[in-house]
C-alpha cells in the first residue's frame, strides 16, 4: 500500500506507570502500545524465505537486520533483468 511504512519502529510502554520510552526526550507521546500492538511481527511476501527455521525465535536487532538484508538480496535477485542474448548484444 502506498500509505504504509517500509519499516515501522515503536518504543516501549510500561503500563504499570504509564511511562513511554521514546527515541528522544518528550513530554508526551502519540498514543502508545497496548494489547495486541505489543506483539511484534514481520510481514513479507510468500516469495521470500521464512525469517527463521520452524520453531526458532527471532530476537534482537542483529537477527532482524540479517533477515531484512537477506530479503533485500532475494528481492533484488527476483527483480534483476535477464541477461540479453549474446547475439543481439554483439
Give the residue carrying C-alpha cell 536487532: 61
Grid coordinates given for 75: 528481492
Residue 2 lies in a domain: no
Domain residue limits at 58 = 12-89
DSSP codes joined into one string, 9-75: ---EEETTTTEEE-SS--S--SS---GGGGS------TTSPPSS-TT----SHHHHHHHHHHHHHHH
Residue 14: band (very low, low, confident or very high) from pLDDT cuts 50, 70, 90: confident
Residue 57 lies in a domain: yes
Domain count, the chain: 1
pLDDT, one tens digit per residue, over 34-65 is 556 667 788 888 999 999 999 899 988 899 99
Residue 3 lies in a domain: no
Greater confidence (67 vs 60) lies with: 67
Mean pLDDT over the full length of the chain: 75
User: Any long-range contacts for 56-61 (C-beta under 8 Å, 24+ apart)?
Assistant: none
Residue 45 lies in a domain: yes
Residue 7 lies in a domain: no
Residue 85 lies in a domain: yes
Residue 6 lies in a domain: no
Please give the pLDDT value at position 64: 92
Please give the pLDDT value at position 43: 85
Distance in angstroms (rounded) separating the CA atoms of residues 48 and 24: 34
Query: Is the model's pLDDT at 69 over the cut of 70?
Result: yes
Residue 10: band (very low, low, confident or very high) from pLDDT cuts 50, 70, 90: low
Amino acid at each position: 500500500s502506498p500509505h504504509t511504512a517500509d519499516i515501522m519502529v515503536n518504543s516501549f510502554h510500561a503500563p504499570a506507570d504509564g511511562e513511554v520510552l521514546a527515541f528522544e526526550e518528550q513530554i508526551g507521546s502519540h498514543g502508545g502500545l497496548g494489547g495486541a500492538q505489543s506483539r511484534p511481527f514481520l510481514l513479507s511476501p510468500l516469495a521470500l524465505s521464512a525469517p527463521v527455521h520452524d520453531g526458532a525465535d527471532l530476537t534482537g536487532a542483529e537477527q532482524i537486520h540479517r533477515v531484512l538484508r537477506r530479503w533485500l538480496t532475494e528481492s533484488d535477485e527476483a527483480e534483476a533483468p535477464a541477461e540479453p542474448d549474446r547475439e543481439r548484444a554483439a
